[in-house]
Structure 1
């Protein structure tokens, strides 16, 4: 259900010149502006390009642990797989942020393995190398959320550009997209590996304009991560936060423009 489609951006564009390449969600000033959202959108271009985060947005990051727990060889995971999945994801994100701010980049596959090792030790499964191997193999075959194929086809039928913009490495993204069978509905897979730093650094969001030649206000950026959608708002994109779990809004200088429970309303937001 669509919520909050027209909010004030007095907290969304705080102290940020969205055209400065040095924009960073970690180093923004706390000053406030007086721009209202309605005035902002009256001067905006029509959406031409829809860009999606991958993990948690198009692909279900809990699917690997859930699938492994259903297999006879890994019955020990039956009761703890939700905790494994949650710890794995939280450490994956946390390690990406720490590597970004300390300029210690590694590709997302290394980060994903490091995060899983922590999660398995935390939950008492670190002595099972077969389980580790199975979980990592399943991460290359994550299930797309049910509404994803139809939603992407609707965007393409309307003539819109579509892309993934992700922390994932190119190989990881190719694997996930191929497994989900959605490659025919995507024009580009944009990975942070081309700039060597993770979101929410502005150089990552720059990749969209560099690839498609579009203005920032022609882009609808969609993420299940509230911090990602918020930072992209500060950057200058129209944003939609897919808040599947009903989380509170992150306390950041910006907030997502739209908040959805799932992806079926994306074509309508994009004018498709």
Structure 2
């Protein structure tokens, strides 16, 4: 039986810090810290909304996080500049290893899906722009449930949509909270640690597999599966 792979999109397939060049033009030497704040608040707002049951699409979390980053870093950005950044965010680039890793997957051995906090339309636009959609069977969006990762219900929904079971399903993500969420639900999970500085939360859950890129991800999962 083929192994089902749930690829997280933002931060795993797609580089959420892919607008540094554009940010440097707007905020100079604050670009990296501004980008970090934007991403951190984007996730925090999704967590809050998931817990409060006050769902809005992930794009609205992204918009609110941008507003917060501007206030925190005291950046006077015009409405037009914000709109331009949000438009560019909708077409963020893929990581260099993403295409290689996805293209190398054997469809006899794997069933690869995109699994994201973003809406299906937003994720499809990202994948098409980055050239990655062709390697994925389908897109599973939490928007259908009006919740966010790491709500256990969204991992269950992924299994339903992909017609898979926990034993034959892996989450692949660069986001520790997502990996922990999948492990908590009972799936296997690979943490993509692209940077030595990246830290995994000191929880009782540990990744099934740790990789430094998506290159050879299929081979490594197969090796882990037979251990």
Using structure 2 for the length normalisation, give the TM-score. Answer: 0.91
Task: Give the paired residue count.
Answer: 222
Question: Distance in 2 between the 1:127 and 1:143 partners?
Answer: 23
SS of residue in 1 equivalent to 2:191: strand
Structure 1 residues 251-260 or 84-93, which shifts more? 251-260
Q: CA deviation at 1:267?
A: 1.1
Q: Judging by fraction of residues, say which structure has more helix.
A: 2
Question: Distance in 2 between the 1:93 and 1:47 partners?
Answer: 32
Q: CA RMSD in A?
A: 1.7
Q: CA deviation at 1:158?
A: 4.3
Question: Which residue in the other structure is 1:107 paired with?
Answer: 57
Question: Distance in 1 between the 2:141 and 2:161 partners?
Answer: 12
Question: Distance in 1 between the 2:58 and 2:66 partners?
Answer: 12
Question: Which residue in the other structure is 2:174 paired with?
Answer: 224
Matched, 1:256 2:197: no
Query: Which stretches in structure 1 are left out of the alignment for 5+ residues?
Result: 1-45
For 1:117-132, what aligned pairs fall within 5 Å after superposition? 117-132=67-82
Among candidates 145, 157, 170, match of residue 207 of structure 1? 157
Larger radius of gyration: 1
Q: CA deviation at 1:197?
A: 0.6
SS of residue in 2 equivalent to 1:144: coil
On the 8 A contact 2:100/2:214 being kept in 1, the answer is: no
Question: Distance in 2 between the 1:220 and 1:197 partners?
Answer: 20
Structure number with higher relative contact order (C-alpha < 8 Å, ≥ 6 residues apart): 1
Question: Distance in 2 between the 1:127 and 1:114 partners?
Answer: 14
SS of residue in 1 equivalent to 2:112: strand
Q: CA deviation at 1:117?
A: 0.6
Question: Which residue in the other structure is 1:50 paired with?
Answer: 5
Question: Which residue in the other structure is 1:69 paired with?
Answer: 23
Question: Which residue in the other structure is 1:60 paired with?
Answer: 15
Question: Distance in 2 between the 1:178 and 1:195 partners?
Answer: 24
Query: Which stretches in structure 2 are left out of the alignment for 5+ residues?
Result: none
Using structure 1 for the length normalisation, give the TM-score. Answer: 0.77
